[in-house]
Structure 1
Amino acid sequence: MAFETLASDFYGYEKLLTDREKDFIAVLREYLENDVKPIVNEHWERAEFPPAVIPGLHSRGVIGLGWDETKAFENSAVFRGWVALELGRVDASVSTYVGVQNGLVVGALGVTGSAEQRAEWLPKLASGEVLGAFALTEPQSGSDSAQGLQTIATRSGEDWVLNGSKRWIGNATFSDITIVWAKSAEDGQVKGFIVPTSTPGYTATKIEGKQSLRMVQNADITLENVVVPERLRLQGANSFKDTAKVLRLTRAEVAWSAIGVAVGAYEAALRYATERVQFGKPLASHQLIQDLLVKSLGNITASIGLCTRVSEMLDRGEQRDEHSALAKAFATSRMRETVSWCREILGGNGIVLDYDVIRFFADAEALYSYEGTREMNTLIVGRSITGKAAFV
């Protein structure tokens, strides 16, 4: 399939990709358009994740990009951002599945795993032989995870015993392993563990009633005397600072996914505006509609520019926490505005799944909040520019 720059990429940022990266994007885009997009609304309405998309994504090499043990070719962080955008452009839940498997689980092993752990687990996660989840958030601990974790890991000889609970854990109803973050009873530091979900004492229960990211299978996890051998402790995860290294990478990719959600809503609204006739002419011929479309395109373009620079900084080893935090806060805020304007363009038809926009509108709320709320990311940036922490 020939590569074509998206019309919503108004300044042509995709041209920064290499020919090989463009070829990858073209193949992925064709798969998403032909095999994923036609089935997402029905699965979203039923709050079910379509299992058929999992092997399709893995076989196209979407998982494992960026790691020596798994990547098929050298690729840039900008390219990986565009992959996240393409996924979000079709469906935020599919993008979130990849974000958990690739960004959080593979990322945790890539950043904090030993060489032996990386060699053992990363290829299996990339191929889809092993599916993963990432358990940090707890019922009473979200934004304050750095200090507020209540899940405890107690050393017992050559093993660790985990007790506690986790909440909002994506992919957890079908994962084979879960990366569990717990506070050590010995030194009070946060440590990471590779926990097979078949381990006695581990249970995952699907969270019902969600009205955002309905396809994502979020779960409550209970850990009751779950025994994990030392060899499954992430050897490079010795404090929350190490956890934060993983989140720094994934926050930037969530920002790219948010752009994809905005693009998906914008493209659906633009298509509707050119086809829908009111007062004897297409909606797109009306000034107020053009104003909403142009403002939406402006948000998308500004967010792509910001995220492109943040990803370039990552490739050069220059990205810091405050850089990814600003990208996440800005891109998700602009996404939230954009999907609202796009829903407005569709009028009453904007609240039915037939036209896709309401799915993007609802899903945007979850991206706006997860992996660091706008407020928390704002405070990370604020601390950087003022030199003063204002978290409490």
Structure 2
Amino acid sequence: MVTTPAPIAGAAAPAKKAPKQLPPPNSDFYEFAETLNAEEQAVLKQVRAFMETKVAPIINKYWIEDSFPFEVLPAFKELNIGGLGMQGYGCRGGSLLLSGLVAMELARVDCSFAGFFGIHNGMAIGSIYAAGSEEQKQKWLPPMARLEKIGCYGLTEPLVGSGASRGLMTTAKKEGDTWVLNGQKKWIGNSPWCDISIIWARDVADNEEKGFIVENKTTPGFSVEKIHNKIAFKVVQNGLITMKDCRVPAENHLQSGNSFRDTARVLRTLRYLVAWQATGCQMGAYEHALKYAQERLQFGRPIASFQLIQDLLARMLANVTASQCMVVRTAQLSAEGKLGDHHAALAKAFCTYRMRETVAWAREILGGNGISTDYNVARFFADAEVIYNYEGTYQMQNLMVGKAITGFSAFV
């Protein structure tokens, strides 16, 4: 029989092994943030600090309650990122790469909060910036950039989604110095509480789509009903907008918003913005899954030490990094004036498809805990379904790419 020798009298006890220092979760594996200049890196760090200290500790509560964390808005305004990526009119400016990385950073902590800002900044401010007259820009953009007035974007309708280019059911009729709007818009983020809606409607005179700035709280005939019972994007407040003989002054007609081509100019930017959000969603799910795997013990050791778990984590990181490579290139193309609809469509389709895969693997790593909001991954898993669908479905994006590469349109 083998016996353990008794310790020698007076000998020092063996030193305890220091706990192993594990690498912190880092989803920016190729260090894209380092490509920004020092000033823009500082902005990105401020956004990360805000999201990690103000939003992350409370967001699960608001997500469960299907409500928006208005309490964080004062601190969010202090970041001064309204109008990011746009120049003048009180907008923050900055590179399109910074704009994308900020969208990614917001989604890395919470996709819904990123959605709120993307709707306001990319859709509402972006529409006025792209299609508004000089007077409209001077009037609306400064308070919107300061987040004193929050906007939403009304294109989708109860019976019109992917078919928006072929005829909206919401109508606009010119009567003297006003436009009369009638119809409904559905799934409009921010609409239950925001100040301004960008509404796209079909002009009954020429059958073309036109854009309008509608002041939600002071325009007769304009009402919003909050949409309840969602399983995803629960922090974003979505609404059903109803317009009954809603009279909008002619000065609020977007002067360069007179056809679907003008709508598409805004949508092009939005699609590649959604690709950034999808990438951020993957980053958040990956980082939570990695941290969980490093701490979760099974069979006496962390599951991160198991081959199958490491294989999943490596695949997730590859999806994240591939998506980052693609969206960084779209920002470069956009800055050079070369970004086409087909470029934005491919980025949106690819990044959202990979996002679905990544968040599913994250949920798998957490096992049963993967369906509990206490561990965060469930929130990313659910929110990914919205990002996959909105601003154009996966299939519609692929048809846009298909038309560009074959020369044939497969649209009905």
Match of 2:69? 50
SS at match of 2:181: strand
Q: Please name the residue that 2:212 is paired with.
A: 193
Amino acid at match of 2:392: G
Identical counterparts, % of pairs: 48
Q: 1:71 to 1:89 in 2, by over 3 A?
A: farther
TM-score (ref. length: structure 2): 0.92
Counterpart of 2:329, as a letter, is: R
> Higher mean Cα deviation, 62-71 or 366-375?
62-71
Tell whether 2:341 aligns with 1:301: no
Distance 2:360 2:264 in 1: 31
Q: Which amino acid is 1:281 matched to? A: R
Task: Please name the residue that 1:218 is paired with.
Answer: 238
Residue ranges of structure 2 left out of the alignment (5+ in a row): 1-23
Report the equivalent of 2:200. Answer: 181
Q: CA deviation at 1:100?
A: 0.5
Count of residues in correspondence between the two structures:
388
Residue number in structure 1 paired with 2:293: 273
Mapped pair 1:95 → 2:132: no
Aligned partners of 2:223 and 2:243 also within 8 Å: yes
5+ residue gaps, structure 1: none
Selected match of 2:175 from 127, 135, 156: 156
Task: Tell me, in whole angstroms, the C-alpha distance in 1 between the residues paired with 2:410 and 2:49.
Answer: 46
Q: Give runs of ≥4 in structure 1 deviating > 3 Å.
A: 70-74
Matches within 5 A, 1:292-331: 292-331=312-351
In 2, the alpha carbon distance for the partners of 1:380 and 1:174 equals 34
Partner of 2:309: 289
Contact 1:65 1:71 in 2 (8 A): no
Give me the TM-score of the superposition, normalised by structure 1: 0.97
Match of 1:355 in 2: 375
CA deviations 1:190-217 (Å, max 9, x no partner) are 0000011121111100011100101111
Work out whether residues 190 and 238 of structure 1, in 8 Å CA contact, stay in contact via their aligned partners in 2: yes
Letter in 2 for 1:40: I
Paired letter, 2:61: E
Deviations 1:165-191, CA, capped at 9 Å, x for gaps: 110000000011111000001110000
Q: Separation in 2 of the partners of 1:331 and 1:95?
A: 16
1:209-230 Cα shifts (integer Å, max 9, x gaps): 1001011110001000000111
SS at match of 1:200: coil
In 1, distance between residues paired with 2:31 and 2:89? 29
Question: Whole-Å Cα distance in 2 between the matches of residues 85 and 71 of structure 1?
Answer: 23
Over the residues paired in the alignment, what is the CA RMSD in angstroms?
Answer: 1.2
Match of 1:11 among 30, 52, 61: 30
Q: Tell me, yes or no, if the aligned pair for 2:25 and 2:287 is still in contact at 8 Å.
A: no
- Secondary structure at the aligned position of 1:144 is classed as helix
The residue aligned with 2:142 is 123
User: How much has 1:154 moved relative to structure 2?
Assistant: 0.4
Aligned to 2:49: 30
Distance 1:22 1:147 in 2: 43
Q: CA distance change for structure 1 residues 248 and 72 in 2, over 3 Å: closer, same or farther? A: closer
Cα offset for 1:74?
4.9
- Mapped to 2, the partners of 1:54 and 1:323 lie a distance apart of 34
Distance 2:90 2:350 in 1: 30
Q: CA deviation at 1:316?
A: 0.5
Please list the CA deviations of residues 74-98 of structure 1 after superposition, one character each: whole Å capped at 9, or x if unmatched.
5211111100010000001100000
Once the two structures are superposed, the pairs formed by residues 371-386 of structure 1 within 5 Å of their partners are: 371-386=391-406
